[in-house]
Structure 1
Amino acid sequence: MMTADFLKERVAAIATMHRKERAIAPILAEKLAIRSIVPQNFNTDRFGTFTREIKRKGTQIETARLKAIAAIELTGETLAIASEGSFGPHPAIPFLPSNREVVLLHDRTMDLEVIGEAISTKTNYSHRRVSSVEEALAFAENIGFPEHGLVAIVGDRENEEIFKGINNSEQLADIIETGIARSADKKVHLETDMRAHFNPLRLQVIEQATLDLIRKLECSCPECDWPGFDVIERKAGLPCEWCHLPTSLMLAEIHGCKKCGFKQEVLFPQGRKTANPGECHYCNP
């Protein structure tokens, strides 16, 4: 089997209600000749919302899988693509906010699942409590409004109302004025609308994750030729250039096949055979 050839000319259901197909479908068409459809009346909010009305029950990957399976069941297709995003501190640079996106391909015919991933610090993920229209407009300008939308939460916790997809100044001003009058502390909670159709920055990260998915589909197992042969484990221990003791830097990656279980170790995946002494806990305690 030629890698990913079995996907060519297939139809994929993209499990979205927030226009993620704008980021995903062109890449699928260009790289794999896949024709994409979007299920009608497909409610992805039932799997969790960024505005916290519905909590995500599983991990990012589990939620993306549930979306893909639901899209297959709704459309009758055998191939589906789903994505799921999360926002929080960067795993390696905790003081920076980051956006992690996964794009999952689920092929019922081949019993195949492959997951693309991208992590980016290029995000406007932010929130603020404001007490005037002027504060709200300043926050909006800082996050790239109106191309990037806003969410406002008005009222107290027991009686709050959520306004999503705010993307013009008059609408924002009206909501802020009404919200200040309703709130006991005379403030309104504002946050960036992280849904893909109101957040172009997030769409860019979804594109990166889709390209990573394509890359993995084109990597086949050396033993059985099954697609998706990729990193399953990373090993620290790159030796210090001076003392040769192991450091916390990456020494090797283990690539694995989900089909046959074959594994392959790749040494020095970042192209470095030694660590700088400044990165060694012994030489630079």
Structure 2
Amino acid sequence: MSRDEFAHNLFHNRTGVLATMHRKEQAIRPVLAQIGMQIVVPEALNTDEFGTFTREVERTGDQLQAARLKAEKAMALTGLDLGLASEGSFGHHSSIPFLACDRELVVLIDRQQDLEIVGQVISTDTNYSQQQVTTLESAIAFAQKVGFPSHGVVAMPEAHPLPGSPIFKGITDESQLVDAVTELLRQFGQAHLETDMRAMHNPTRMKVIAQATQDLVTKMSQCCPQCGYPGFTAVERQAGLPCALCQFPTALPLAVTHRCQKCDFSSVSYFPNGQEFADPAQCSYCNP
């Protein structure tokens, strides 16, 4: 049996539980079906207990830790030994500060094989945005800018509302928007609007979750050269790709280390992006 066949057989015809209450199965299930994995969604799971985008509940741990906790809770509820969860994070791009980005993780925990594999995508394809308004006209203009009504909107008194403040989520039609903003303007003289980043109200985010799931499937097929187990993925990246003009090391990756979580075998690959030199535009010496 080849390594690819071995990895495929580890997950084919198995059932995994997906920790979601926001319909993420719509993005994740079709991708995993490509490798013959079945997905179920537990009815009694409240993923909001691990954190909410609207800040009522602070996220438990970092992004990966929160996803792990969700998957583990779903496995505990169902008794299944294969669990999945996704977690998103939104903010400014680390390399392009004026661009918003969406970092999506999809984690798979396999207790039968003692494996954890994480798919990841960082995408600038997002409508993530927020704005403080003092008129209904400004509120409607903001909503139109972020793809309303196919993309939902959230309204609250301010960016960091006090406990007990009214928060209107899942606004997906103009009458809801008008009612919510009118009430906030009456009570507070202002309204803070932001995109509803929950998956079921954000088709753009759903697409990125599907991309992260595809990355997960790719990593599930990357097998350790020594023991053959899947999940032989990058654990460390070394910067220093030399500039093509002056040979000065740049911030671009020179090498990447892959490691097996099963047998701990590791290997280093140079020039991971298929290029041996960096464009001088990326060099802090040639282009300070």
Same fold (TM over 0.5): yes
Question: 2:186 — aligned with what?
Answer: 181
Of 249, 257, 260, 1:246 maps to 249
- Aligned partner of 1:78: which letter? D
Q: CA deviation at 1:205?
A: 0.6
Structure 1 residues 97 and 284, CA gap change in structure 2 (3 angstroms): closer
Question: 2:67 — aligned with what?
Answer: 64
In 2: Cα distance, 1:196 partner to 1:243 partner = 46
Q: CA deviation at 1:274?
A: 1.6
Structure 1 residues 242 and 125, CA gap change in structure 2 (3 angstroms): closer
**Is 1:5 equivalent to 2:6 in the alignment?**
no
Q: Which runs of 5+ in 1 are unaligned?
A: none
Q: CA deviation at 1:159?
A: 5.0
**Is 1:26 equivalent to 2:30 in the alignment?**
yes
- Aligned partner of 2:227: which letter? C
Q: CA deviation at 1:284?
A: 4.0
Note if contact 1:4-1:227 (Cα within 8 Å) is conserved in structure 2.
no
Q: CA deviation at 1:239?
A: 2.0
> Bigger CA drift: 244-253 or 67-76?
244-253
**Is 1:217 equivalent to 2:220 in the alignment?**
yes
Of 111, 114, 119, 2:114 maps to 111
> Which SS does the other structure have where 1:226 is aligned?
coil
Q: CA deviation at 1:240?
A: 2.5
Structure 1 residues 16 and 278, CA gap change in structure 2 (3 angstroms): closer
Give identity over the alignment, percent: 50
Question: 2:85 — aligned with what?
Answer: 82
Q: CA deviation at 1:158?
A: 5.9
**Is 1:164 equivalent to 2:169 in the alignment?**
yes
Q: CA RMSD in A?
A: 1.5
In 1: Cα distance, 2:156 partner to 2:101 partner = 23
**Is 1:275 equivalent to 2:278 in the alignment?**
yes
- Aligned partner of 2:14: which letter? R
Structure 1 residues 175 and 265, CA gap change in structure 2 (3 angstroms): same
Q: CA deviation at 1:127?
A: 0.9
Q: Which runs of 5+ in 2 are unaligned?
A: none
In 1: Cα distance, 2:277 partner to 2:226 partner = 31
Q: TM-score, normalised by structure 1?
A: 0.95
Note if contact 1:86-1:100 (Cα within 8 Å) is conserved in structure 2.
yes
Number of aligned residue pairs: give it: 282
Q: After superposition, give the CA deviation of every residue in 1:48-86 in whole Å (9 maximum; x if it has no partner).
A: 000000001201110100000100000111111100000
Q: CA deviation at 1:245?
A: 3.3
In 2: Cα distance, 1:175 partner to 1:278 partner = 48
Q: CA deviation at 1:5?
A: 1.4
Q: CA deviation at 1:179?
A: 1.2
- Output aligned runs, 1:91-110, within 5 Å: 91-110=94-113
- Aligned partner of 1:19: which letter? R
Question: 1:227 — aligned with what?
Answer: 230
> Which SS does the other structure have where 2:48 is aligned?
helix
Q: After superposition, give the CA deviation of every residue in 1:144-178 in whole Å (9 maximum; x if it has no partner).
A: 00110011114873651111000000111011111
In 2: Cα distance, 1:99 partner to 1:26 partner = 21
Structure 1 residues 236 and 154, CA gap change in structure 2 (3 angstroms): closer
In 1: Cα distance, 2:261 partner to 2:140 partner = 50
In 2: Cα distance, 1:84 partner to 1:223 partner = 32
Structure 1 residues 136 and 264, CA gap change in structure 2 (3 angstroms): same
Of 132, 137, 162, 1:134 maps to 137
> Which SS does the other structure have where 1:231 is aligned?
strand
Question: 1:206 — aligned with what?
Answer: 209
In 2: Cα distance, 1:242 partner to 1:179 partner = 58
> Bigger CA drift: 123-132 or 219-228?
123-132
